Amino acid sequence: MKIGIDLSPVEKDPAGIGQYSLSLFTELCKIDKKNTYIVYTTAPFLFANTKNKVIKVNKKLPAYGSRWMKSVAEDAKKEELDLFISPSNHLFTKLFPKTIQYVHDLAPIKFPKFFGRRASLKYKATLKLATSKALQILTISQSVKEEIIHDYPKTKGKINFIYPGLNKWIELENKDPNAIMDKYAIDYDYILTLSTLEPRKNHINMIKAFHLFKKSTNSPLKFAIIGKKGWFFDEIFKIVADLNLETEVKFLGYVPNQELNPIIKKAKAFMFMSFYEGFGIPPIEALSLNVKTLVSDIPIFHEAFQDKVVYTDPYSPDKIALAIQKILERNYQNTEKFVEDRYSWEKSAHKLLSIINEYR
């Protein structure tokens, strides 16, 4: 079969969806020796075992994204593709009927205040389209699969989930980890978090909790935050200033994949307090390096991390502060094998390939 993939989500500083897509499709194109793949991007993109088609449209005109997707779909029809895989852009399900559509989570619907009214309404409308038009829906956990079926009953029978895997680059110790630590001026002990700066990730309550933890313990630890600016992030910097934590909370910005290993590995603990997630890859990376990990007490995290982490209420800075003390006092656990056995991009790619081959 001839299969198209929208790779636009992975082109620049890929975060959650981009990282997932990049890793899964890289492995898929490596193991699949029978099907051929065309990857669609907005600029030249090197991707092994595939043909890259760069589709350009005028960015100065309105509705750039929709026009780009329409141009991709037109090319897909000319190429007579048998299938198209869309990792995020729901409109492809209308433009190209044979689309396998990813729905990573229902965050804009469950928490519209975190995204803005317009963005949430748009997501809701395109998701309704996707769930009715897609050849098949894919998501990244059993929890989200059940949420989608509950809210969109017509998806039952045409929805599956594929877990993320452990990114290989997180296992690789950089040749000079000290140079990386120097690059980010990390000469202190710290608790770490890693995610795009946006409301759903709950940086504000983590910062408030860290402040309470510092006040009650006089700990010398600092709070290091990795992540690029997303949206509605001004309040994050404001709370740091209001609490006089400018020297205690360190914003490291976006850190490339190849530089993450030593920063995560040297953390005294890893904290991930999202209000909602489809899965949550960063805690898996921390657990793979045997870093003590504290996460939100939400259903998906129980599915993903089982008893390998400490759970707490993401809405309560007081409870988070107590949980920080608890995780720091927790005995060392070898969590590497748990991750290794459960999360593999190769396993995930084989599952995706079996789904693709159903349409032969």
CATH code, domain carrying 35:
3.40.50.2000
179 and 325 housed in the same domain: yes
* pLDDT tens string 277-293: 999 889 999 999 999 99
For the chain, percent of residues with pLDDT exceeding 70: 97
Range(s) of the domain holding residue 73:
2-165+345-357
Quote the pLDDT of residue 360.
83
Q: Poorest-confidence range of 41-45, 168-172, 228-232, 323-327?
A: 168-172
* pLDDT tens string 231-266: 889 999 999 999 999 999 999 999 988 899 999 999
212 and 103 housed in the same domain: no
223 and 326 housed in the same domain: yes
* pLDDT tens string 200-231: 999 999 999 999 999 999 999 999 999 999 88
What predicted TM-score, i.e. pTM, was given to this entire model? 0.86
Helix (H, G, I), strand (E, B) or coil at 245: coil
179 and 120 housed in the same domain: no
223 and 153 housed in the same domain: no
175 and 215 housed in the same domain: yes
The CA distance from 312 to 260, in Å, is 25
* pLDDT tens string 37-48: 999 999 999 888
208 and 271 housed in the same domain: yes
Residue range 190-206: mean pLDDT, rounded: 96
The CA distance from 5 to 167, in Å, is 20
Helices (H), 134-159: 142-151
CA atoms within 13 A on the CB side of 94: 12
Helix (H, G, I), strand (E, B) or coil at 81: coil
Residue 79, pLDDT above cutoff 70: yes
**Cβ-based neighbours of 253, under 8 Å, separated by 6 or more:** 226, 227, 228
136 and 219 housed in the same domain: no
109 and 77 housed in the same domain: yes
